[in-house]
Amino acid sequence: MNQKQGRQDKLIQEERHDTYKEQEKWPEPTVCSECSAVFLEGRWAWRESAAKSHAIVCPACQRIKDGFPAGYLEIKGAFFGGHREELLNLIYNLEAQEKGEHPMERLMAISTEEDHALITTTGIHLARRIGEALKHAYQGDLDFTYGDAEKIIRLTWIRE
């Protein structure tokens, strides 16, 4: 009796671990000791904290402390040099809007040169939103790739 048997050596997928994602629900209310964001009703928000709150460092502040961004946006090309202030104002305005609704989405750093800038963010959504806003407002070419099981995004916007 000759039975076909499947391969026994299976590729085992390792479970991905995101250090900055909450693994458990925080006791409510919880307040960030760095930025004063409050975890209440299952999400982070900008609210007044209760007198007796559990204190932690929120994931966004921890990313900033560790210097480990989730979003990287490169702006390249001569257009940046000629419109630096205008582009930076757009970026800061988008960050203010996003951060107002989602405290975990923040700018970490902006480093600029004559025709180049690198923007890092605490979340993937803010980086992508900025990249898409640049493309919508000023055309150019936008490319992006997700890495590490969609926990990191790298974008490049180019306009000569």
Domains and CATH numbers, the chain: 30-57 (no CATH), 65-158 (3.30.70)
Q: Scan for tokens 């989730």, then name that residue.
A: 70
Residue 46: both structure tokens together: 């900008």
Angle among Cα 41, 45, 49 to the nearest 5 degrees reads: 80
Pairwise CA distance, residues 51 & 91, whole Å: 35
Query: What pLDDT, on a 0 to 100 scale, did the predictor assign at position 49?
Result: 81
Query: What pLDDT, on a 0 to 100 scale, did the predictor assign at position 66?
Result: 96
Instruction: Sheet containing 30-32: give its strands across.
Output: 43-45, 38-40, 30-32, 54-56
Low-confidence ranges of the chain (pLDDT < 50): 14
Pairwise CA distance, residues 119 & 16, whole Å: 26
pLDDT for 104-134, tens place per residue?
Answer: 999 999 999 888 999 999 999 999 999 999 9
44 contacts: CB under 8 Å, gap ≥ 6: 32, 37, 38, 58, 102, 103, 104
Angle among Cα 128, 130, 136 to the nearest 5 degrees reads: 100
Task: Identify whether the C-beta of residue 101 lies closer than 8 Å to the C-beta of residue 81.
Answer: no
Query: What pLDDT, on a 0 to 100 scale, did the predictor assign at position 14?
Result: 47
What's the Cα-to-Cα distance from 55 to each of 30, 31, 91, rounded to whole Å? 6, 5, 31
